[in-house]
Amino acid sequence: MSVPTTVAAGEKFSWREPNGKRVEVVALPPCESKTGGRWTCMTHNENFDNQMQKDCHLDESGRHKLGWICFEHGLEQP
């Protein structure tokens, strides 16, 4: 399993939305919201609905930069 790194607050990324549109996003500091969210690999532009999907993705060789997509605030530092 490769060791992932995590996004830092203030770090900028170019992100492809599900409709194919590219947007610039900036990682926010972690919030206190309990509304939920999901893990995302910013390196590979992939979201994970559960822990098993995330773990399987990390088993693939290569580098991975993980972030947390808060359902209320968007990309955050985990």
pTM recorded for the entire structure:
0.83
Distances (CA, A) of 70 to 12, 21, 37, 60: 16, 20, 4, 25
- pLDDT of 1: 56
For residue 61, being part of any structural domain is answered with yes
Overall number of domains in the chain? 1
For residue 52, being part of any structural domain is answered with yes
For residue 58, being part of any structural domain is answered with yes
- pLDDT of 2: 65
* 54 phi/psi in degrees, rounded to 5: -65, -45
pLDDT digits (tens, 9 = 90+) for 29-73: 999 887 799 999 999 989 999 999 999 999 987 899 999 999 999
- pLDDT of 18: 76
**Could you list the residue range(s) of the whole structural domain that residue 65 is in?**
9-76
